[in-house]
Chain A
Amino acid sequence: GNSVTQMEGPVTLSEEAFLTINCTYTATGYPSLFWYVQYPGEGLQLLLKATKADDKGSNKGFEATYRKETTSFHLEKGSVQVSDSAVYFCALVYSGGYQKVTFGIGTKLQVIP
């Protein structure tokens, strides 16, 4: 079956540090890949996505590249801010069908001033 693997954290960084959150997946075929973010007390919201190999998704300074050869979709940001403190979920979904999503466990990021 499909699965998504990411570290749970917490990841603690100082403001302006470089962020990488690793995400690898196991799936048959060619899924679309997503990063969702959950700020404290809120539901999840889409951060970025990529629908095919070598696509790069980007939003709010975050980037992730769909690497089919390494089955990875690592999230990066060059300079984190305190406001980026949240839980980040990697996810995959197949087009068509019922759009069921497979989520990773979520990585908690804490950015300190």
Chain B
Amino acid sequence: DVKVTQSSRYLVKRTGEKVFLECVQDMDHENMFWYRQDPGLGLRLIYFSYDVKMKEKGDIPEGYSVSREKKERFSLILESASTNQTSMYLCASSFALAGLSYEQYFGPGTRLTVT
């Protein structure tokens, strides 16, 4: 079974803190993704990575950065957390063989509250 794990299920941070969200997958997937999920807005892509040390901005990258030093691990960083970053954060991974569409496998999510 593919497994995508996220470092925390719940996290409470203060405004201005630097926050790290970690994601690890065990299926040797090339692609990894970070989304945030908010009521009424669905899932919005923050960043994705298609290879080690490679990253691409998604639809809402402002206020976030990412790091992928190893193939199995993809980190989301909030440089200076703000209250409008309170959300559910979902990590996902997938294969990337050209010509085929692969499903994404999701972690359980991290509910982040910034106070």
On A, residues with C-beta under 8 Å from B are: 8, 31-32, 34, 36, 41-46, 49, 51, 89, 93-101, 103-106
Query: How many B residues have CB within 8 A of the partner chain?
Result: 29
Query: Is B115 part of the contact surface with A, judged by Cβ < 8 Å?
Result: no
Task: Decide: A103 and B100 in contact? CB cutoff 8 A.
Answer: no
**Residue with the greatest number of chain B CB neighbours at <10 A, chosen from A43, A51, A106:** A43
- Please tell me if B11 contacts chain A, counting CB pairs below 8 Å: no
Chain B residues positioned under 8 Å from A46 (CB to CB): 103-104
* CB of B34 within 8 Å of the partner chain: no
Do A99 and B94 touch across chains, with their CB atoms under 8 A apart? Answer: yes
How long is the Cα–Cα vector from A93 to B94 in the complex, in angstroms? 12
Closest to A43 in B: B106
State A95–B100 Cα separation when bound (angstroms): 5
Given contacts A43-B108, A44-B90, A45-B106, contact A106 B42 (CB under 8 A): yes
Interchain pairs with CB closer than 8 A, number: 65
1/0 contact string of B73-99 vs chain A (CB within 8 Å): 000000000000000001010111011
Nearest-neighbour CB distance to chain A for B44, whole angstroms, equals 8
**Chain B interface (Cβ < 8 Å from any Cβ of A):** 4, 31, 33, 40-43, 45, 48, 50, 56, 58, 90, 92, 94-96, 98-109
Say whether B98 contacts A96, CB under 8 Å.
Answer: yes
Find out whether the CB atom of B45 lies under 8 angstroms from the CB atom of A94. Answer: no
B96 to chain A, nearest CB (A): 6
Q: How far is the CA of A31 from the CA of B100 in the complex (A)?
A: 10
Which one of B41, B43, B99, B107 has the highest number of Cβ atoms from chain A below 10 Å of its Cβ?
B43
